[in-house]
A and B are shown apart, each in its own frame.
Chain A
């Protein structure tokens, strides 16, 4: 899966969890500062990424991911 495809699916998941249009989500947006994810939503994001990509991530490290591009990189590390 290439990076662009991962990014598209990541934004779709973020849009679904944070209830926003994926089109307005920027690559460098901070999940908390720019997109307004609270602690509960951050946990939901991790779970939704795992479901979307059928992977199991290290939760502590996953919760430290700050930005959309950071999430893409982090998830890419789990994909073949």
Chain B
């Protein structure tokens, strides 16, 4: 059933995050239970409005008069926090609707996550909410926290309310929320909003993204997702957030299974597993994918505490050579470069640092350095116009005044130079107080230089992405969707799941993909005649609906250079296929000119359950699954993503003309990707499609589809 409320547009999320009054519906007086703790947290954390406990079995809870039903509350209720068992949540929600409550959190478990009966209960809640125009978060969630002092809402059963900050956290897992809160508390990381959205039966992560886009208290959005139900909507929301507000979105997406890929029938299907597609979709949307909580918050604090870097030239200031080298290696690996200091900066180093100091980058202020040396070195480096940001490394030695150094670094980090400063105080016990100072003053701190460099590089990439222009998908007018659909419908109507190669080529031709001339023959003599007509050398391929991988069964012969060879090739194909696939129905043999000296690439299309049509590009040939040199784009693929798809494969240097070779027709390849993207959007009947290989000729000469298959 389609959601009658457009995602992110009309949900009553202000009432969720900024309610004027809250009713906790189904609470009890039993300490240590979810229904009680939620009520107690709201009260303990000083919600700035009235709280009404609704508890049919209790008259008073913690000196609060209780109500038997939510409808007994005579004052308006903005937000209902429903904590009843799942079997009666619908009764509570119905009453909320009757009295005009517009927002609810349904904390209770026992819905979709427990099976069919639970799903029905969840659907009943959704129907009630739709009937009354209500919005609800959950069910099966930890709750919602808003640290804004204007409201101070802790409608959760977390152990402690986090400090105020500018990071919004959204999570599909409630248990992960509590772990994240504990992790963040230890690092003095604050949050603007903290949302466990559970089964997302009504309000989803997409709605929350749209809301947070305009939330002035939020600068960075971090998110944990287990399941993407509407990939295109998620991508659209992320793009609107990033383009509209400039806020980065960091995401951990779990469930990286490859089981879906195992059953695929095509190269594309096997290469485009659910996680690879998800990865590509997130990248295309501008979402930064993280693989651990540590990595996510490493990046988040870099982005929220400090300005984004304007370039990749970093200064490293260290009191130890080894860690400086480690940081240098990590920086280079992450695409950063060590800044070359100006003469003026070098002169300052010479004047204020000891003669034994290394005044080139990384700047080694030597093991006995105290805060004054760090202050001078960091100040000079940050003032250098050739430096885009600084990374400070400190190892604890007997004379190292860690707290004073932390203070000096904090001052520099908030000096207002518009350049980021990150720090890594290496160690654990001795450096703890210095780290505490850095964390308290919102200087990004990293236990290891490697994570510091990675966070710098990620922040830089986000800045580049945010400032890059957006090139929309290219749409071609010379395509014939009706023709393609007719061929696909005819095959589907005949109960077939594969198109013949001839049919596949007709579909591709309808979308303007370049095809080689070809002839279908049924005898050795006809094969020789067709080959002579097309011009030698030629290629022959068996045509059979029952054979997907023709090479594997001896169904392909290349480099046929004369009449006699053509007859022999025909005979060889027929005998080998008969031996290896005796039950296969043979429709003939396809004869095509053989293109010599072209580069082989693969193009593909796959329909993903979450993200829809996905286009694949990569190094072609028979070993494509082994080499896995492929990239993906979600259709309709924007023109800039098409360019990136070609350039992010290892095949690209070959196409661009490596080792003195002539460059290939990359523009032609890009046009093919765009045409395929349009086909994928127009023809949802196509489940998988392979063009392997696409033969790419020299620049300006185009290319040809040499082999194609389409699965329905």
* A interface list, Cβ under 8 A from B: 18, 20, 30, 32-41, 64, 66
Contact with A along B87-98 (1 / 0, CB 8 A): 110011000000
Given contacts A32-B87, A38-B35, 19 further A-B contacts (CB under 8 A): A18-B57, A20-B57, A30-B88, A30-B91, A32-B56, A32-B84, A33-B56, A33-B84, A33-B91, A33-B92, A34-B68, A36-B55, A36-B58, A37-B57, A38-B28, A38-B33, A38-B57, A39-B85, A40-B30
A40 vs B33: C-alpha distance when bound (angstroms): 11
Interface residues in B23-58 (C-beta closer than 8 Å to A): 28, 30, 33, 35, 55-58
B84: chain A residues at CB < 8 Å are 32-33
Q: Is the CB of B85 within 8 A of A32?
A: yes
How many whole Å from B629's CB to the nearest CB in chain A? 55
A64 vs B85: C-alpha distance when bound (angstroms): 11
Residue of B nearest to A41 (CB): B57
B68: chain A residues at CB < 8 Å are 34, 36
Scoring A20, A36, A37, A39 by chain B CB atoms within 10 A of each residue's CB, the highest score goes to A36
How many whole Å from B451's CB to the nearest CB in chain A? 44
Give the 8 A-B CB pairs with smallest separation, nearest first: A36-B57, A36-B56, A33-B88, A33-B91, A32-B88, A38-B28, A34-B56, A32-B85
CB contact between B56 and one of A35, A39, A64 (< 8 Å): that residue: A35
Residue of A nearest to B28 (CB): A38
A33 vs B84: C-alpha distance when bound (angstroms): 8
How many whole Å from A36's CB to the nearest CB in chain B? 2
Residue of A nearest to B57 (CB): A36
B30: chain A residues at CB < 8 Å are 38, 40
B55: chain A residues at CB < 8 Å are 36
A35: chain B residues at CB < 8 Å are 56-57
How many whole Å from B139's CB to the nearest CB in chain A? 16
Residue of A nearest to B33 (CB): A38
B57: chain A residues at CB < 8 Å are 18, 20, 35-38, 41
B33: chain A residues at CB < 8 Å are 38
Chain A to chain B contacts (Cβ below 8 Å), 7 pairs: A18-B57, A30-B91, A32-B87, A36-B56, A36-B57, A38-B30, A38-B57
A32 vs B85: C-alpha distance when bound (angstroms): 8
B92: chain A residues at CB < 8 Å are 33
How many whole Å from A73's CB to the nearest CB in chain B? 17
How many whole Å from B32's CB to the nearest CB in chain A? 12
Scoring A32, A41, A66 by chain B CB atoms within 10 A of each residue's CB, the highest score goes to A32
Scoring B55, B56, B88 by chain A CB atoms within 10 A of each residue's CB, the highest score goes to B56
